[in-house]
Structure 1
Amino acid sequence: MTRTQATPDPATQAVPHDNSPLDAPVVREPRHAPVAHLVRGGVVEGVHHGSVVVLGTDGEVRLQLGDTEAAFYPRSALKPVQAVAMLRAGLPLDGELLSLAAASHSGEERHLEGTRRILDLASLGETDLRNTPDMPFDPVVRDAWVRDGRGPSRLAQNCSGKHAAMLWTADLNGWSLDDYLDPAHPLQQAVAETVEDLTGQRVAHVTVDGCGAPLFAVSLHGLARALARITTAAPGTPEARVADAMREHAEMASGVRRDVAALMRTVPGLLAKDGFEGVQVAALPDGRAIAVKIADGADRARIPVAAAALAHAGVDPALLTGFAGAPLLGGGRPVGAVRTVRALEPAQPVPCA
C-alpha cells in the first residue's frame, strides 16, 4: 500500500490516506459504560467507566461494553504491532531483545543493558536516542536511582528498547536517523501500514506519544483484532516471532514486579500488553482476545476488568484469582475492593486452549 502524508505541524493532526478500502474509526467522545465499582464497606464509593471487547476464536465479538468502535489511543498497548512492523522492515531481532523492542520496561538493569546491546548491534549510542529522558518506571528501581543521585535518562525511559530498535531498523534500510520519529519518516509510514493491516482499519488520527514516537488512533475492537492476528500467525512470521519473544521473556517486556508479566506467566499461551491511561490488550493462541480501556485512566481498574474479560473469554477463573486487584484499606485492614460489573461475569465456562 502506498501512503502519502503531509509533514506534521502541530502535536496532533489528521492523517491523509490513499484509496485504501478500509474504514477509519469515528473520532468522537467515547460512549463509555460502567465497568467496575469501587466498593467500600458494602457501599459503592466510586464507579469506573470504560469499554471492553471480547473476541472469540472466529474473530466475532462475544462481548462488548461501552464504545469499542470509537477512535482512541492504544498508547503502549500498540507496541507489539510496532515490533511486527520493524521485523517486516528487516530488523534481525528475536528472543529477549525482541521482547525489549516491544516493551514498556521497568528500568531494571536488564532493560538498560538490553537497550545498550541493541544500540551496539547497530553501531549507535545512547545519544542517538530521541525518546524523552525519564526515571525508571518501577518505583523500587526509581527510589534506588534517587538515593544514588541519578537523574532522568533516555536509557531508563520505559520505551528505550523500542527506540533503539527503531533506530537500527532505520539504519538497516538506509533511512535517516535524526528524524526517525517524524510521522512522515519511512519507518513511521511502515509502522502505520502495519497498524492498518493488523487492525483491519485505517488510522483515524495521529499524535505524539509520551516518549515522542507517533501514536496512531484506532478502535478498541481493532486493537483486539490486531493482537489476535499476532498470536494466531504461522510460526516464523514476524507476528509469531513477536508473540514468542514476549511470552518467553515476559519480564523483559515489562518487569519483575509488573502485573502484565505475572498474567502471561499464569495463563498458558497468553500474550498481554498494557498501556498508559488504563489500556490492556491480551490474546490467546487460538485467537480469543480481549481489549480494555478505562475511561479515567485509573490503573487500579485495568487488571481486574481485564481478568474478568479473560474469564468471559473462557480462561479458567481459578487462574485469574490473583488479578482481582488490591484490597481497599481502611485503618490498615481490608474494607473493600474494585468489583467488576455483572455484565463481565462469564455466561458459562469455555475450556482454555
Structure 2
Amino acid sequence: MTVVAEVVRSGFVESVHHGVVAFTGRAGVGDISSPFFPRSSNKPLQTVGMLRAGLVPREETDLAMISASHDGEPFHVERVRGILSAAGLGLESLGCPAQLPAGEQPRNAWLRDGGSAEPILMNCSGKHAGMLATCVVNGWPLDSYLDPKHPLQVALADAVSELAGEPIAATGVDGCGAPVLAISPAGLARAFLRLVAADPGTPERRVADAMRAHPALVAGTGSPDTVLMAGAPGLLVKSGADGVVAAASPDAGGVVVKISDGSMRARMPVLLAALQRLGVATPVLEEPVLGGGRPVGEVRAVW
C-alpha cells in the first residue's frame, strides 16, 4: 500500500495511514479493484434500489434521510418518524439496534432530558425506515426485511451491482443489522458518478439531488459531509464507517477513499486532496492535532 496520510505533531511524523484512493476513468492509489465493504457509503445506491423497487417517498427530501448516517438531531428523528408513519408503521417495526444519538451535542441534550438509547436514534434508522416503506408498497414481509434472501435485499443487491458495474463479491452484516455488500473502490466510484451524471428524474439523479439539496439530513449540522456538499455545488459526498468516503461531481468524476486501518480522521484530508486533483474547489475542513487544548499539528495527505 502507498502511504496516503500522516499525522504530524510538533513537526514530528507521529503516525502514518495507508489506504486506497480510486478515481473514475484514471489510475488510483493502491489496490482499487479488490472488493471491500463500503459500509454506509453504499446507502445512496441502496436508496436507488428502493426507488426502483417501487418506493414512493412523501417528498424528495425523504430520499436524503433514507440515504443518511444521521447525528440524531431532532429534525432527523422527526423525519424518520414521518417516513414510518406515512407507511402505516410504528417505531417498533425498526430492526436496527437501540443507540444514543451519534452527534455529541444531540446526544448530550438527549441525556440531559432523561432519554435513553432507542432504535430511531440509531444513525441508520432512515435507511431502515425506507426499507420498511418499500416492503409495505410491495406487500413483502416486514419481520424478515433484513434477511439477505428477502425480496427487498435481493432487489437492493441487484441495484448496487448494476450501478457499480460488477458483481457483489460478498455479503456481510453491517453495524445496523442490514446486509452490507462488498464491491471494489473503483466500482463504488463508478456508481457515485452514475448518480450525479444521470438524467433528471431518474432514480439515480433523484437520490443525488435530494442529498445535495438537504446535506444536513445526510449527516448533521457541521458534519464533514454536510459542510462539503453545502460548500461545493454539485458535489455528492457520503461517508462510511472504518475510514470510507465516496464523492462525485458531474463535471470532475468520482473518487473513493478507504483508509486501511479504519482511521476516520485520515479520510477527509485525503478526500480533499483527491478532489483538488480533480479540480473541485471545496471548503476547508480543519483536522487539527491538539496538544493541551490547542493545535500543535495536522493530518495531511501524502501521495
TM-score range, shorter chain: over 0.9
Choose the corresponding residue for 1:50, options 10, 13, 19: 19
Q: Report if aligned partners of 2:40, 2:240 keep a CA contact under 8 Å in 1.
A: yes
After TM superposition, give the deviation of residue 148 of structure 1 in Å: 2.1
Q: Report if aligned partners of 2:211, 2:218 keep a CA contact under 8 Å in 1.
A: yes
SS of the residue 1:300 aligns to: coil
Correspondence list, 1:282-301, <5 A: 282-286=247-251, 288-301=253-266
User: How far apart are the structure 2 equivalents of 1:119 and 1:224?
Assistant: 31
1:86 maps to 2:50: yes
Correspondence list, 1:1-353, <5 A: 32-55=1-24, 60-61=25-26, 63-93=27-57, 94-286=59-251, 288-316=253-281, 319-320=282-283, 322-323=284-285, 325-341=286-302, 343=303
User: How far apart are the structure 1 equivalents of 2:253 and 2:219?
Assistant: 22
User: How far apart are the structure 2 equivalents of 1:177 and 1:334?
Assistant: 50
Q: How many residues align?
A: 302
User: How far apart are the structure 2 equivalents of 1:41 and 1:222?
Assistant: 39
The amino acid that maps onto 2:291 is G
Q: Which runs of 5+ in 2 are unaligned?
A: none
Q: TM-score, normalised by structure 2?
A: 0.97
User: How far apart are the structure 1 equivalents of 2:180 and 2:197?
Assistant: 25
Q: Which runs of 5+ in 1 are unaligned?
A: 1-31, 344-353
Q: Report if aligned partners of 1:50, 1:66 keep a CA contact under 8 Å in 2.
A: yes
User: How far apart are the structure 2 equivalents of 1:263 and 1:95?
Assistant: 21
User: How far apart are the structure 2 equivalents of 1:234 and 1:265?
Assistant: 22
List per-residue Cα deviations over 1:205-248 (Å, max 9, x = no partner): 00100000000011111111000011111110000100110000
User: How far apart are the structure 2 equivalents of 1:226 and 1:187?
Assistant: 20
Distance 1:117 1:46, change over 3 A: same
User: How far apart are the structure 1 equivalents of 2:176 and 2:74?
Assistant: 20
Q: Identify the residue that residue 7 of structure 1 maps to in structure 2.
A: none
Runs of 4+ in 1 over 4 A off after TM superposition: none
After TM superposition, give the deviation of residue 287 of structure 1 in Å: 5.7
Q: TM-score, normalised by structure 1?
A: 0.83
List per-residue Cα deviations over 1:80-117 (Å, max 9, x = no partner): 00000000011112422111011101101111110111
The amino acid that maps onto 1:103 is A
After TM superposition, give the deviation of residue 147 of structure 1 in Å: 1.9
Q: Identify the residue that residue 14 of structure 1 maps to in structure 2.
A: none
SS of the residue 1:234 aligns to: coil
User: How far apart are the structure 2 equivalents of 1:154 and 1:334?
Assistant: 37
Q: Report if aligned partners of 2:36, 2:184 keep a CA contact under 8 Å in 1.
A: yes
Distance 1:244 1:103, change over 3 A: same
SS of the residue 1:168 aligns to: helix
Q: Report if aligned partners of 2:269, 2:287 keep a CA contact under 8 Å in 1.
A: no
Q: Report if aligned partners of 2:70, 2:76 keep a CA contact under 8 Å in 1.
A: yes
